[in-house]
């Protein structure tokens, strides 16, 4: 639909030129058989240019939407955001379960690497999009955002599986369910963006491959409480990231 609107808005120029040329030939009684092929070529070239310009504009809009999605993901679900799945996993240190502490420590280490990846990804998107070579970078960055999100979803699934088996506080479940609502809204936007991109660029990624997070329903009362003086040790915080 957008391409058709662009053809109408930009294609009128060659159409008008052709019409005027035909009128001129008839008015001056020129050899229309000789002029007609030239006018047809001019018309075709003009329409092709309009279609190419429309595709470039669509690629630009798709790149802008992809950049917005990547920036939103980085702000809301990565870094030090309170809505991050890693912030929710961090609350498991309040549960008296040493096995959970080990898993939460491993996730803390993974978070640092993940945040480095996300920051690098956003920097490259912001830098490369200024070159306006959308057809070159669009497919690459779509694949990378999909890969970032897929790895992130693995942590969501792991937390969900743990929450189904282990008794966790109601506050943690409520925090997780709030996260699920916002994450699933992002996932739906990402699916829609992939569907739009498939119309203007080649990609093997299908919208259903972006998975939704599962909401936790119901809770069980905690039977074990953490004993005083048995606080788990958290990983030492240091500047920079562990790679």
Choose the weakest-confidence range: 20-29, 83-92, 212-221.
20-29
Contact between residue 114 and residue 122 where contact means Cβ atoms under 8 Å apart: no
More confident residue, 61 or 182: 182
The whole-angstrom separation of Cα 145 and Cα 150 is: 8
Q: What tens digit of pLDDT does each residue of 149-189 get?
A: 999 999 999 999 999 988 888 999 999 999 999 999 999 99
Residue 159 has a pLDDT of 94
Q: Give the pLDDT score at 158.
A: 93
State the angle between helix axes of 134-165 and 32-77 in degrees (0 to 180), rounded to the nearest 10: 30
pLDDT value for 19: 66
Q: How far is CA 121 from CA 65, 125, 210, 232, in A?
A: 15, 6, 19, 33
Residue 62 has pLDDT above 70, yes or no: yes
Whole-number pLDDT of residue 39: 64
Burial track 34-57 (b if 16+ CB lie within 10 A, e otherwise): eeeeebeeebeebeeebbebbbee
Residue-level pLDDT at 23:
65
Global confidence as pTM: 0.70
Phi, psi of 221 (to 5 degrees): -65, 145
pLDDT tens figures, 206-241: 999 999 999 988 645 444 434 444 445 554 444 333
């Amino acid at each position: 639909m957008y391409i058709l609107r662009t053809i109408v808005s930009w294609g009128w120029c060659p159409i008008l030129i052709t019409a005027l040329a035909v009128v001129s030939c008839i008015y001056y009684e020129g050899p229309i058989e000789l002029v007609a092929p030239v006018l047809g070529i001019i018309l075709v070239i003009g329409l092709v240019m309009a279609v190419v310009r429309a595709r470039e504009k669509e690629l630009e809009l798709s790149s802008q939407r992809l950049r917005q999605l990547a920036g939103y993901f980085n702000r809301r679900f990565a870094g030090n955001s309170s809505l991050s799945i890693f912030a929710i996993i961090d609350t498991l240190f309040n549960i008296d379960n040493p096995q959970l502490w080990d898993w939460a420590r491993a996730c803390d280490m993974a978070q640092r690497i993940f945040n480095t990846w996300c920051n690098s990804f956003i920097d490259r998107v912001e830098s490369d999009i200024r070159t306006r070579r959308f057809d070159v970078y669009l497919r690459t960055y779509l694949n990378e955002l999909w890969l970032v999100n897929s790895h992130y979803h693995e942590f969501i699934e792991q937390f969900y599986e743990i929450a189904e088996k282990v008794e966790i506080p109601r506050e943690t479940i409520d925090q997780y369910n709030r996260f699920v609502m916002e994450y699933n809204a992002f996932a739906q936007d990402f699916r829609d963006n992939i569907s739009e991109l498939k119309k203007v660029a080649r990609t093997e990624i299908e919208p259903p491959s972006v998975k939704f997070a599962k909401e936790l329903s119901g809770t069980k009362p905690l039977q074990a409480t953490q004993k005083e003086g048995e606080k788990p040790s958290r990983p030492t915080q240091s500047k920079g990231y562990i790679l």
